[in-house]
Each structure stands twice: as C-alpha cells, then as structure tokens.
Structure 1
Amino acid sequence: MALVGGAVRDALLGGAPLDLDVVVEGADVEALAHATGLPFTFHPAFQNATVTLPDGRGADLVRARRESYPVPGQNPAPQPGTLDDDLRRRDFGLNALALVVRPDGGAELRDVVGGLDDLARRELRPLHSRSLHEDASRAVRGARLAARLDLAPHPDLLAQMPDALTMAQDTPRLWAELKLLLAEARPGRAARRLEAWGTGAWLGDPALLEALEARQDAGEAVTPQTWAAAALAAAPDPAALAARLGLGDRPLGLLARARSDTFFPEGTPERQLRALLRPQAYVPLTGKDVLALGTPPGRGVGEALAHLAGLRRAGQVGSPDEERAALAAYLRSLP
C-alpha cells in the first residue's frame, strides 16, 4: 500500500496535503472500502473507491494499474498493474512519487521517473512524448499546479502544447479541468499560465480574472458566479462556453446584468463585475434621484428612467451631471 501523487508532493514541499490517493496492488478495492466503515463511492470501471473521511475530505483508494489510450482524448483503458506501473501512467514527474508503507510499519519513498529532481527544480515535466496528445486536460491541470505551487514548465511540456491545442475539441475532460481552474484560489494566475503556454484561447481574458484577484486581495468577497462570469465575458460566444464548462445559467445572467444599465448597489457582484468590464462607467441616476430633481411621482419616474437609459445606450450622456442636464431638459419638454 502506498500514498501517491499530490499528497507526497505537497508534503515534500512543506505544505498540507490536499489530495489523498492510496494505491494498493492486486486487492479488492471495494472490500477495502467496506472495511474502513466509512461512507464511500465505488467506481467499477477503474476499480477505485472514494472514501469520505470524518472531516469531510475524500480519500481515493486506487487499484494499481497500467493504462493505454485506444482513442486519444477519450477515457483510457485500464489493466491491473504494479505500483511502478501506476506511477508511470501519471501526468507529471512530481506527481509520480509514492510513500510505500511496509507491513512492518516502516515507510520508504519510491521515485521511478525522476520526480524528486523535478520537485527540486520546481518544474512540471510530462512523463512521455505523447502525454498531452493522449490527454489534453493535463495542460490545464499543469497550469493549476503551476499557479498554486509556483512551478515552471519543462521544455517538454511547452513542446507538447500544440498537441494539446489540436486535441482539445476531442478531450471532454479538458472542460472539466477548466471549470476546476475557476475554483482555484487564484484563477487569474492559472489562466495567465495557459496564455503564456499558448493555450489562452480556452478561457477568456486572464487580465479580467487577475483584476478580480486584485479586488479579492484588497478584501472584497468574490463569489464563484463572479469568477465564472468574468471568464465568460471575453468569449466570442459566452453561452457556448458556459455550456461546455457546465456552468449553468447563473453566470450568464450575472454577466448580462453587469453589462446592463440597471442600477445595482455598491458591493454587489453586478457592480463588482461592471467595474472590470466598464472601468469608466459611472453610477446612473436612480428613481430616488429623479424624484429629487422634480420628476412627477408614479408612472413619470419610470418614464424618466427609460428616457435616460435610452440616452446612455445612444452615447448621448456619459456622467451623472450630463444625466441631470438631460433630465432637466426632458422635464421642461413635458406638457
């Protein structure tokens, strides 16, 4: 039995392990999961189980396996294998480290692909020359890791990026990885890595996400929907990208509201996103404002606001003062 992958990597870097991945050779994984007495989900296709720990985290029990890709971009075909086989099937060298627990209770570090050297250089190196051709989602996973752990791309990774671009449309997992990227602590930094590696077209404008990060760093709360809407904002077809990422309609609705002339109070996601999309935008007059400036109450308030909104769309007003002047002229024209 061995603890492998991200948990070993993070521990060696001095951080708290986030992913718990335990590999066992030739065992009945479902029976092992039952034996823990904890809730679990069994995945028969790969003979893996995800066990829910008492603190709510998930731990993956993985039967050691080899993998091949009959159709690049699609799911791999698994076959039983050894721990070393399991390490060699992984994405990057620094993710292919294992802490083997011996029957006597001792432990040893296993490195069969040179992952310790990659870790020392803080470098992302794919394990073989067709890695990103077989699974283009590894490029996004690499960007997430590079941003989170401050890692540099190995030349082999950069050399394979054209393969990742070619295979992106045939790799459904890539879009799931992009959705996970938006859930990172710093999505803008990860998106910027993709742009630097030549694959920035997958996810909008990193500058928007980085600007949102700056607001978060300044103490503003940023909702998951706001991150998603910012990622969609620069897409040629936001609805198509939202569908591919499985984001649902809420980010699209937020984006539409942020782009509208509707008033939203300070601190709302709409105002927050609007400040990024239209940095020169101003706060238009509200119903309370137009009443104070002499608009007749009732139906007249809505008509005055509609008149001002039309002037904004036509580009005929560009500041609160210009709106006040336009409102005064409008009120004078009323019978």
Structure 2
Amino acid sequence: MALGAQVWDRLRPDDREWLCSLAREAGPGARVALVGGAVRDALLGGTPLDLDVAVEGRAAGALAAASGLPAVVHPAFGNAAVTLPDGRHADLVRARRETYPVPGANPLPLPGTLEDDLARRDFGLNALGLEVPPEGAPRLLDVTGGLDDLRTRVLRPLHPRSLYEDASRLVRGARLAGRLELEAHPELRRQVPEALDMSGQTPRLWAELRLLLQEPKPGKAARALTAWGAGELLPAGAAERLEALDARRDAGDDLSPTAYAAALLSAAPDPAAWAGRLGLGEKPGALLARALGDTPASPGSPEATLRALLRPEAYAGLSGRDVVARGVVPGPAVGAALAHLAALRRAGKVHSRSEEEAALTAYLGEPGPTPSPG
C-alpha cells in the first residue's frame, strides 16, 4: 500500500470527508494538506484525532468559514480553529514561510507553498504532509527526509539554528522522545547549548514545560532532557520524582497532571514562583501541601502517593473511623482525639501506627495490653 493511502485509511471516515470538502471548496489552483503530527501518528499505526491543515492559495480563515462549522478566525495570521461535529478542534493555517527577526520571539510569517510550510517545521518527522486533492488519491509529501527519521525513530532538527531561534523546541522534542521512544540525532545534541543560552528569552518554553506534565509519561520526557544535557530546565531532582510517578501510574495509580505538577513543585527552590511561571494555578500547590501535611490520606490517593514519594518515613495515621471504633461518639470528641494525635506527630513523639494506637489508648484513658507472664 502506498504511504499516502496508508495515512488516508488511518483517518476517521468523517475526517476524510471533511478534508475532501475543504479541498473541493478551496477551488482551482489552491492546495490543501493534512500536516504534522497527524501524518506522523498515522504512519506509526495510530488513528489521529488532532488535525492540522495547511492551505495554499486560499485564505484559511475564509475556507474555515465556508465549511459551515463553528470557527474562530485569527485575521492577523489568516488562520482559524474549527470545531468539528464531535467537539474536537482542528486548526487551519495559511501555508507559510517563517523568519525569526529576534531569536526567542514569535516568528514573522510570510506566504508560502505547502512545501515551504513543511520545511519551516521543527523536526523531520513532524514535517510530513498528506495533500488532499478535490478528486483522486491523496499524496504523501516529504520534503525534508522525515520518512527516514520516522523509520529510524530519530529526532532531527530541520535547521542549523532551529533550537537557538526557538528554544521551546527542545522541550517539545523531549515530549516526543518520551512518548514515541525516539533517539536524539547528533544535530539535536549539538544545538542543546545554544538552546539553553536562549531559554531565558523564550517565553513559549514555559508553556512547553507545562505540556510536558500532561504527557502519558512525563518522567520519560524529563529524563530525555536530562540525557541531552538540558536537565537545568527543570528543578534539580524533578526528573527522578516524575519518573517515580510514572512507575506508580504503570502500577495502576490514577495520577493526573496536577499530581505531576505537585511533584515538580516539590523539587523547586521556590514552588510559588515555578507555579506562576508555568501557569499551574493553585491546585498543584494545594495538593503538595496536603501531601506534606499530617492529615490522613486515603490509600491510592494522589496525596498518599506523593507522601510516600516525598516522605518515605511517613505512615498512614489513625483516622476518624479508627477513633470511633474505639468507642468514641462521633462528633467533636473524634476531632479532638485526631488533633491530639496530629500534635504528637508534629512533635516527633509518635513514629508509627502502633505508637499512635498506644497514644490513643493513653489519651482515652484505656488500660494498656496486659503483659505476658515472664
């Protein structure tokens, strides 16, 4: 089977119909292509759900509006975000070339061909396209050698100053490497020092780090950064903690990006500052505070998982149910008993569940266990 047909067959039927309708609506002389990750993932055997479409010879915003689907058009760039019938979003962009007047800043877009649009991208395996004609079979586009990179599972920057111009590509590459089991091309490793030099001048890098926490295996992506000599983009020790959570997720723990974000913040010298730079909101910090506190955590909860990671000496203290089981009437008396035990934990006077049970016995005035005859 031709590769173009392979990609086409991997798409959902309704997505194929939508792409054909775009190609017909674009009109004579225009060209429409599915580009980027969708083509890559289809060639790897997946069914792409996120669709990016490049349009040559027709304004992408006008084409999106003509599709009849809800669309948000960005006139400054000639692009649009379309909401598909099932609620997914697809991006339509004008095929373009790009230049970086200032490294780290947003690039300057210029009109271009589909081939120009593919060549401007970050890595070879992301620079594949599937041109969809109004009639006939779709055609695979590979203008950068991305197919060879995909076959050898290599992550190769497309330009000698790619990571210098946009250091966020380094983190994006680590995300791909962790997700798809990719090796870094020597050219990528050569560019790492320049990317690190520009990291402080690349605001988009923080957005990529936030996306890293949403990967299926954030720890693998963090380890890739470390292996490439770019571990300084994360707090010291963060990669190890994220990898430990990967292992817990593999074991069946339900760990959200919030839990991974809390683990990263636990390694940061200034957690609040890192949370602000990454735009994490308040939830990861609150989860971290609970994990480091003394409030009992349910087994398997994010709090319990983080507590075992960050405080291996911690143990599951007695709960309100344990106190009630000792005959205490539910109500304020239970809260008072738990507060007493928490104060003992903070003071370092109890170090295990059995010691808490003994302390509760003493607090309630119950007789202790009868010693065995000597």
TM normalised by structure 2 equals: 0.81
Query: d(CA) in 2 for partners of 1:10 and 1:297?
Result: 56
Correspondence for 2:294: 261
Correspondence for 2:245: 212
After alignment, is 239-248 or 262-271 more displaced? 262-271
Paired residues of 1:230 and 1:273 also in contact (CA < 8 A): yes
Paired residues of 1:26 and 1:80 also in contact (CA < 8 A): no
1:150 maps to amino acid: E
The CA deviation string for residues 97-125 of structure 1, in whole angstroms up to 9 with x for no partner, is 12223454233222221112211211010
TM alignment of 1:1-335, pairs within 5 A: 1-204=32-235, 205-290=238-323, 302=335, 304-327=337-360
Q: Return 5+ residue gaps in structure 1 as ranges.
A: none
TM normalised by structure 1 equals: 0.90
Cα distance change of structure 1 residues 297 and 99 upon mapping to structure 2, 3 Å threshold: closer
The CA deviation string for residues 54-75 of structure 1, in whole angstroms up to 9 with x for no partner, is 1222221111111111121111
Count residues in correspondence.
332
Query: d(CA) in 2 for partners of 1:128 and 1:111?
Result: 16
Deviation at 1:315, TM superposition (A): 2.9
SS in 2 for 1:38: coil
SS in 1 for 2:66: helix
- Note the aligned Cα RMSD (angstroms): 2.3
Query: d(CA) in 1 for partners of 2:330 and 2:39?
Result: 68
Deviation at 1:134, TM superposition (A): 0.9
The CA deviation string for residues 278-318 of structure 1, in whole angstroms up to 9 with x for no partner, is 22311123345456668899766555544433332333321
After alignment, is 248-257 or 216-225 more displaced? 216-225
Query: d(CA) in 2 for partners of 1:299 and 1:46?
Result: 62
1:258 maps to amino acid: A
SS in 2 for 1:169: helix
After alignment, is 55-64 or 125-134 more displaced? 55-64
Q: Return 5+ residue gaps in structure 2 as ranges.
A: 1-31, 366-374
Paired residues of 1:295 and 1:304 also in contact (CA < 8 A): no
Query: d(CA) in 2 for partners of 1:102 and 1:88?
Result: 21
Deviation at 1:258, TM superposition (A): 0.7
